[in-house]
């Protein structure tokens, strides 16, 4: 890294910036795919209207230079809508934070792989693979863990916090087949041996996953069970100095509850740092 010129560094950050912009379709106009059934298109429209209404105060924020931003960009800044085409729904701020986490573990030589549990179209994992490529890391893997069929039907008998969650409702939207996620990696030229897939329910795939150590653990499974199961299985493998990232901590109560329970049970007191008013992280 020390032999890089200033120009190399600029090119690298320009590449990663372009990746983030493209993965979120930042400021771009998306069309709902014409082949989607009308029901799905209407569902997206309704969900997005609801999200905008719920988070109107955040969308009204001004930019640091005091100018209001166009609403489309603000939505993608905070990951507040469900994109029709973009490969991730987590928005620019959480993507940028994820990039910084990966860059930090590389710079500090924190051992371990990069894992996301709950990947949807794969965009956040694609960015993690792009960071490894940009820094010439050929040792670490990106683990892509998902059912590839959406959320499980909530098991309220076992996980009370999931009582009001209707995972089955979203299976058509949140269930993205593995072939499609692989094709998304392929489109960016980033599908190779450093990308490993763990298809199936977390409770079945994570406890015996062949992952030795983890440097970045990103959880984005929405339900209590989809946060507590990855924490139980993978947090013990997170290296000291590694990052634990929780998407939706501030907006989904079951998700926050799982994190609170896990941290209390294991006496974790590392400070929880807010990312964008939605996601959080802490460093082990
Ligand atoms: C909100 S989406 C993830 C968004 C994604 N991180 C992004 O960058 O856009 C939630 C994902 O979690 C997956 N999921 C939720 N619970 C799961 C579980 N228990 N086992 C496996 N996959 C799960 C769903 O299939 C879905 O792809």
Burial 84-96 (b: 16+ CB within 10 A, else e): bebbbbbbbbbbb
Q: Whose CA is nearest to atom 2 of ligand 1?
A: 120
Ligand 1 site-directed mutation target among 119, 167, 197, 245, most atoms within 8 Å of CB: 119
Please choose from 147, 177, 180 the residue to mutate so as to test ligand 1's pocket, defined by most ligand atoms within 8 A of CB: 147
State the distance from the centre of ligand 1 to the C-alpha of 247, rounded, in angstroms: 11
pLDDT tens per residue, range 69-99: 555 677 888 888 888 899 999 999 999 999 9
Which atom of ligand 1 is found nearest the CA of 226?
19
- Write out pLDDT tens, residues 7-28: 766 899 999 999 999 999 988 8
Judge contact between 194 and 140, C-beta under 8 A.
yes
With a 6 A CB cut-off, is 79 part of the ligand 1 pocket?
A: no
Q: Are 110 and 241 in contact (CB under 8 A)?
A: yes
Which range of 31-35, 37-41, 76-80 scores highest in mean pLDDT? It is: 76-80
CB 93 within 8 A of CB 78: yes
Average pLDDT of the chain, as a whole number = 89
Tell how strand 214-219 and strand 113-117 pair up.
parallel
Provide CATH 3.40.50.150 ranges for the chain: 91-283
Strand order in the sheet with 142-146: 195-199, 142-146, 113-117, 214-219, 238-246, 280-283, 273-274
Whole-number pLDDT of residue 204: 98
165 lines ligand 1 (CB under 6 A): no
For ligand 1, the distance from its centroid to the CA atom of residue 3, given in whole angstroms, is 40
Q: Using one digit for the tens of pLDDT, what is the confidence trace for 238-250?
A: 999 999 999 999 9
Tell me the C-alpha distance between 45 and 23, whole Å: 20
**With pLDDT > 70 as the criterion, what percentage of the chain qualifies?**
85
User: Mean of the pLDDT values across residues 170-182?
Assistant: 88
Among the four given CATH numbers 3.40.50.150, 3.40.50.300, 1.10.3720.10, 3.40.50.10860, the one describing domain 91-283: 3.40.50.150
Q: What is the pLDDT of residue 13?
A: 94
pTM: 0.90
Residues 245 and 216: beta-carbon distance below 8 Å: yes
Cα Rg, the chain, nearest whole Å: 18
């Amino acid at each position: 890294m020390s032999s890089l010129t200033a120009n190399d560094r600029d090119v690298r950050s320009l590449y990663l910036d372009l990746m983030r912009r493209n993965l979120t379709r930042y400021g771009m106009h998306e069309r709902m795919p014409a082949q989607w059934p009308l029901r799905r298109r209407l569902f997206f429209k309704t969900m997005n209207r609801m999200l905008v209404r719920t988070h109107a105060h955040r969308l009204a924020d001004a930019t640091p230079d005091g100018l209001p931003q166009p609403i489309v960009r603000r939505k993608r800044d905070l990951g507040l809508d469900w994109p029709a085409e973009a490969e991730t729904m987590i928005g620019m701020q959480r993507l940028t934070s994820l990039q910084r986490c990966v860059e930090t573990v590389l710079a500090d030589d924190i051992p371990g792989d990069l894992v996301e549990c709950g990947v949807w179209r794969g965009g956040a994992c694609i960015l993690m693979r792009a960071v490894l490529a940009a820094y010439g890391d050929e040792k670490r893997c990106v683990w892509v863990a998902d059912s590839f069929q959406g959320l499980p039907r909530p098991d309220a008998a076992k996980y009370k916090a999931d009582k009001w969650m209707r995972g089955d409702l979203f299976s058509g939207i949140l269930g993205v087949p593995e072939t499609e996620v692989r094709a998304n990696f392929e489109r960016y030229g980033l599908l190779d041996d450093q990308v490993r897939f763990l298809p199936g329910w977390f409770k079945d795939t994570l406890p015996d996953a062949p992952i030795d150590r983890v440097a970045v653990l990103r959880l984005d499974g929405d339900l209590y069970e989809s946060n507590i199961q990855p924490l139980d299985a993978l947090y013990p493998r997170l290296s000291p100095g590694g990052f634990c990232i929780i998407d939706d901590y501030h907006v989904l109560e079951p998700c926050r509850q799982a994190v609170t329970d896990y941290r209390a049970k294991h006496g974790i007191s590392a400070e929880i740092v807010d990312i964008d008013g939605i996601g959080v992280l802490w460093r082990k």
